[in-house]
A and B are shown apart, each in its own frame.
Chain A
Amino acid sequence: MKRQLVAAFGCGSLFAIGLSVSGMTNPSKVLGFLDFFGRWDPTLAFVMMAAVATHAVLYQMITRRSAPVFAAAFSIPKQRGIDGPLVLGSALFGVGWGLSGFCPGPVVTSLASGGQSALSFTLGMVAGMAAYGLLQRQWRGRATAIAART
């Protein structure tokens, strides 16, 4: 367990360094990348290309192992179909991303040095996640109650 914590801390630090080096922690740059219909700045496309290429190769090598180094099994979600919540949630995500230039990894990385705007965004993000979690619990409770009655 302790080794897992150290590993997670190290991976988080490396992830943050990658995000900051790449330009993803600069919201104006991110907005420039999303400005397809205006003055498009394609630089950040290279971030995704490099990250996907690296992870795609390493993913294949890693998942050939029977188990990860510090855990009993890999926790990889089973592939489900494409559904309404996936598209609606992603659409909403894009609206918030396009309004601000922030997404979860870069904003947490920017909390110490990104000033007031990273704080405001994180406040909204955590509130949104918490509210969704509470609603989901209520829906589940209601669904179970209905199932028990019928």
Chain B
Amino acid sequence: MIIDHPLLGPRDISEFIYLGDASLLNRPKWDAEDAEHSFYEYLYLRKNVAGVHKELWFHQQGDRSWLVISRNTLTHEITKVDLVGNHSKNMEILND
């Protein structure tokens, strides 16, 4: 796969490290009533989408930026690449 980095252009996937579902950006509140349960869900449970999956990649062998990538898990087609920074203002990124 080639990832079209928003700042650096097309880069080979071997430069990147995969973290997982982009919902990991949505860290639960530590002091909420149901924090114990929310952290269990946050840490262990996944939608494991078959289709377009929003996910976190780290450009370890490059500019060390974190990216949110929309990629189809059935075809490996990447439709959107964005810096995490552009996203944290907008929590609409999560997989449903």
A complexed with B: no
